[in-house]
Each structure stands twice: as C-alpha cells, then as structure tokens.
Structure 1
Amino acid sequence: MGIRDEHDHRHELGAFLRAHRELLAPEDIGLPRSPRRRTPGLRREEVAALSGVGVAWYTWLEQGRVDTSRQVLEAVARTLRLDADAHRHLLELAGFHVPAASGPMPVDALRALVDGWPISPALVLDPAMDLVAWNHAWRVIAPDPAEVPAERRNLLSMLLTDPAYRAHFPAHEAIALDLVRHLRTRADHPRGVEIAAELRLARPDLAAWWQCRAVAVFAPRTVATRPMRGVSPRFAVSLLTPAAAPDATVLVGTPVDAETIAHMAGRAGTEAGFGGHDVLGVRSVEE
C-alpha cells in the first residue's frame, strides 16, 4: 500500500467511526442527555472512555492520523453498537482479515431461485458439494438426484463414481477436476475432507489429482450433455455464490444455442402440461 493509499485508508476509517458516533444517542448507552449538548450523537471523549482508550488517541483515529490494533477497534465497535455488517466493514477498512460470515443457508430462497429457471439446469450445493436442492431442468439433462442414496448425493462423487452420471456428461472428468480444485479452497471443511478421502479409494486411477495441491475458483466453461431426441444440449456452466448465503453455491447451466433453448423449453412445456407446478418444481433433500 502506497503512502497516499494508506492516507486515504485511514481517513475513510475515521469518517466511518465519526458517522456512527454521531448516529448514537447518549441515552442509547445509558448517558443522560443534557439540554446544552450541541454535539450530534456521542462526544469523542465519551466514546474514548467507554472503549478504554485515550481521548487524544481516539481523536487522531477519527482524523486518520494513526493506525490501531484490532483489540481497540473491537472495543470501539462495541461502544458504537455496530451491527454485524458494520463491524465487519470497520475491520476491513482497517486492513484486518475477516472470515466469511457463516450461518444456515436460506434453502427456501435458493430453492425458489433455481425453480425460476425452467430451461437452465441448476443445483444448490453446500461447501462440500453435497446437493441441497435441484430444479426440474436438471432432471431433464441428468438422472434425478432423488434416486441417488443421500450419503452419495455429492456432485463430485456422482460425476466420478456413478455410471449414470458419467454417461450423461461426456466431459465429466474435466468438470470434476475443476470442482476438486475449487473444493480445496475450503480445505478445512470436515465433509470436504471426508469426500476427498472416499474418492481417493474409489478412483485410485486419479492418484495424480489427489497428490496435486492446485487450488482454483471454478471458472465458467461450456459443457455438452448426452444427446437427447436428436439434440446435443450445450450449456455455459457457472458456479455462483449468493451474497446472502456464503456457505452455499449454485451451479447453473445457461443454454448457449438456439437448439438447446428450444429443446429445454419444449421439455419444460410438455411436462408442465402433464404435471403442473409439481413437475416443474424443485426437488430437494427435504422431500
């Protein structure tokens, strides 16, 4: 970071603290409001005292004149009653590493999202590539995941060890290799470690994969699926991470040509006529 960048960085942090100090009323933290108070929100000396730091130091911090420790920023964040998002932003402004927020995936919201893609096959995956939900369009191009035992309902495992899935994706190994590299970006996930160990035993012919330590975020690629009714469907496959669900990823295939679009639209329309929303709806592990 250059001198100018560091200067801008400090001033942005100071402005953020000042804005939140002015938003917090004295009574919010148990202080009386004086009729003679002219300062909007809290005074600097009040924030400093409640955070256990000197008034001069806190003043310099708001003025962008000093760096500070994470411990001090944590104390100031508590004083200013910062919510989780503001707290995270404060630490990031100061240059501290902040782990990705985690929590339960909003499965219903993601299920509704992929359900709205009638011609784009999609899967909702957890960090270890286990399938959480899938849409009807996925069942058009591949076997229904509901027919796979729950303990084996993992995208990597299905691509590398399930004969039916391998038959539906001629380039299954190339796709799987990209997913293996992506999975290593979450190497500390217990289930991911378990899946990797199972695949080492199931596919010893891929020993070079397991010995390699290459790490890479999954890059979009064009994937052809097994020909159906005289059509060879082709999709641009991407792996998306919803901002509201950082522990989830959505693997989606977008048709890349008119032939594929027509085929998928025809299948969706035909089956909708026989089964309505129940046929077009998403299947998930909860069913």
Structure 2
Amino acid sequence: MATTTETAEPLEHATTALRRQLGGFLRAYRESLSPGDVGLPNTTRRRTKGLRREEVAALSGVSVSWYTWLEQGRVDTSRQVLAAVARALRLDDTAHRHALALAGFAPATEGRDTSYDPNLRAMLDSWPDSPALLLGPALDILAWNSAYTALLPDPADTPEERRNLVLLLVGDARHQQALPGWEPVAIDLYRHLRTRADRRPGDEGFRRLTEQLRSARPDLDAWWACRSIGDFASRTVEIVETASQSGRGRGRAPRPYAMNLLLTPQPQDAAVLVLTPRPYEDEADGSTVA
C-alpha cells in the first residue's frame, strides 16, 4: 500500500501555483467519475458530484486528510503516490504525464534532442513565402525552411550547440540587424521559456541555455534572474532585408511580418515560429507591394 511518507526517489517540489493547478486537475477528474466507473457500488443518496474524496483516498492507499490537502494544493507528492492516485482516477497516459508535470516531475533529458515528427518539417516546407522555424522545448532550432534562409541568417552557419532562437536574438549581431525590435521579442520568448521550464524541472536543455545566456550577455542578468512567466503573444515585427537578400544594390525598407508561435501537442512539446508577410510601402515609389 502506498503511503504519504514513502518516496521512492528524491522529491522534486512544485511551485505553489502548480500544486493548486494539480489539485484542480485531480478534482475535475474525481467529479467526472461515478462509483461504477471504478468498481464501487452506486448509491442513490450522494450529495457530492462524482466520487467522494474518501473513496479516491481509499483506492489510492492514502489518508483522506492527505488527499484533501493534495486537492487543495497544500502538499507535495512523490511519483509513486501520484501514480496510485492516477490509477484510482483512471487517468490515461496523457493525463498522467500532465499530472506529473504539475507535481514538479518531468523526464530528465540528456543533451540536445534533435528528433521531431517529420510531418512538422513537411509543414514548414509547404510554406514557400512564410519563413518558419521548428523549435524544441528550450527553443533550440531543430529545422527551418528555405523562406527563412532567404530572409534571415541561415541557422546552418551557427554551431549546433549555439543554435537557439533566444541566444541568437540576444547575442548575434546579424539577427539584431535583421530584427531591430529584437528586445521585446527576446524578453517574451524568455518568459514563455520560463513557463515551460517550471513544468520540466531538471531538464538539461533549460539549464544549458540559462548558462549560455548568462555567459553571452552578463549585462542582461536581470532578464535571466527574472521569474516572470507568460505565453508568447503574437505580434507584428519588421524585418530588414540585406542587399544580398533583396537582390538589389541596396536593401529594401523594413517589411512587416506577423510573428506567431504555434505549439505542438504533448509529449513532443515543440513549437513552430512562423512569419507571415504583410504588405509594405515600397521605398522607391510609395506604392503598396504584396
């Protein structure tokens, strides 16, 4: 029988906010189940929706008080005990993984994971006019399309260990010249990254990137020490083409692009950054060019 004091491994603590999210997640599953779903007899006199807390506690092998605290976000748990709760609530693999992440657990990764669904690469290649990147969980650049290299510096020219979108924005002059308004983009990407990092404690990719950022831009240490989080917001950015990219003797005026970060489903946890061109005023005659 699992107990609240047994931990089969060192405990990784979740933040208070994540513990509360875990509690709400478990409560929603508990309320969606009927006694018959878990092999208990149905009774007509039930004041609570779904299963009672004491029923889940008994099925999980924990005390009612402790399970109540778990739903209230007041306690941490171990993988072993959370697995028992997941079985009691009939969580599928995806829901169980999500519960583990909210509890502060995530699979440890070693080095850079460059595997990805080949369909994602095919999707990038299907956008001939929209520059796009395929990004890993720590925003490492995994793949890109020809539209991207026609507009922005080719990631292939950067050593693989430094091929990270945030690192290039804050530490590479070519990217800063191409995207003059790089600072708010980099800040929001880092907030987005922090949100994901809190769900994947111990992930090697996040730790490695933080070290690289501190080394590349120690003057921005206030950024790297900030605990602010948030999802990346879509925006309009201006990209400056160089003379060689535009095919002219001089570069065109900055062209506006809609920048969006599209998230892929778990467990891959990748993302696609896509730039969709918008009309701009041609520098030569002021006419609108598509």
Q: TM-score, normalised by structure 1?
A: 0.61
Pairwise mapping of residues 116-195 of structure 1 onto structure 2 (< 5 A)? 116-185=126-195, 186-187=197-198, 188=201, 189-195=203-209
Distance 1:208 1:172 in 2: 17
Consecutive unaligned residues in structure 1, runs of 5 or more: 1-7, 22-43, 49-54, 265-287
Q: Is the 8 A contact 1:100 1:246 kept in 2?
A: no
Consecutive unaligned residues in structure 2, runs of 5 or more: 1-26, 61-82, 283-287
Partner of 2:93: 84
CA drift at 1:146? 0.8
The structure-2 alpha-carbon separation of the partners of 1:230 and 1:11, relative to structure 1 and needing over 3 Å to count, comes to: closer
Q: Is the 8 A contact 2:135 2:270 kept in 1?
A: yes
The structure-2 alpha-carbon separation of the partners of 1:179 and 1:79, relative to structure 1 and needing over 3 Å to count, comes to: closer
Identity %: 38
Partner of 2:117: 107
Secondary structure of the corresponding residue to residue 259 of structure 2:
strand
The Cα RMSD (Å) is: 4.1
Pairwise mapping of residues 207-222 of structure 1 onto structure 2 (< 5 A)? 207-222=221-236
Distance 1:11 1:181 in 2: 33
The structure-2 alpha-carbon separation of the partners of 1:71 and 1:107, relative to structure 1 and needing over 3 Å to count, comes to: farther
Partner of 1:273: none
**Larger deviation, residues 147-156 vs 209-218:** 209-218
Distance 2:145 2:187 in 1: 24
Distance 2:152 2:253 in 1: 14
Please, which of 58, 69, 90 is the counterpart of residue 56 of structure 2? 69
CA drift at 1:112? 1.1
Partner of 1:39: none
Aligned residues: 219
CA drift at 1:145? 0.6
Pairwise mapping of residues 39-78 of structure 1 onto structure 2 (< 5 A)? 47-48=39-40, 55=41, 64=50, 66-67=52-53, 68-69=55-56, 72=59
Is 1:252–2:274 an aligned residue pair? yes
CA drift at 1:86? 7.2
Is 1:200–2:210 an aligned residue pair? no
Amino acid at match of 2:59: V
Secondary structure of the corresponding residue to residue 69 of structure 1:
helix
The structure-2 alpha-carbon separation of the partners of 1:62 and 1:86, relative to structure 1 and needing over 3 Å to count, comes to: farther
Is 1:14–2:23 an aligned residue pair? no
The structure-2 alpha-carbon separation of the partners of 1:257 and 1:62, relative to structure 1 and needing over 3 Å to count, comes to: same
Please, which of 239, 257, 260 is the counterpart of residue 235 of structure 1? 257
Partner of 2:78: none
The structure-2 alpha-carbon separation of the partners of 1:56 and 1:84, relative to structure 1 and needing over 3 Å to count, comes to: same
Distance 1:211 1:87 in 2: 31
Distance 1:263 1:117 in 2: 19
Amino acid at match of 2:145: N
Amino acid at match of 1:210: W
Distance 2:168 2:84 in 1: 48
Distance 1:71 1:118 in 2: 58
The structure-2 alpha-carbon separation of the partners of 1:209 and 1:83, relative to structure 1 and needing over 3 Å to count, comes to: closer
Secondary structure of the corresponding residue to residue 187 of structure 2:
helix
Amino acid at match of 2:93: A
Q: Is the 8 A contact 2:179 2:240 kept in 1?
A: yes
Partner of 1:276: none
Q: TM-score, normalised by structure 2?
A: 0.60
Greater share of helix: 1
CA drift at 1:121? 1.1
Amino acid at match of 1:84: D
The structure-2 alpha-carbon separation of the partners of 1:244 and 1:195, relative to structure 1 and needing over 3 Å to count, comes to: closer
Q: Tell me the alpha carbon deviations over residues 108-139 of structure 1, each in whole angstroms, 9 at most, x when there is no partner.
A: 01111111111111111111111111111111
Q: Select the structure of larger CA radius of gyration.
A: 1
The structure-2 alpha-carbon separation of the partners of 1:247 and 1:211, relative to structure 1 and needing over 3 Å to count, comes to: same
The structure-2 alpha-carbon separation of the partners of 1:214 and 1:86, relative to structure 1 and needing over 3 Å to count, comes to: closer
Q: Tell me the alpha carbon deviations over residues 78-106 of structure 1, each in whole angstroms, 9 at most, x when there is no partner.
A: 699875257679x89xxx95789989864
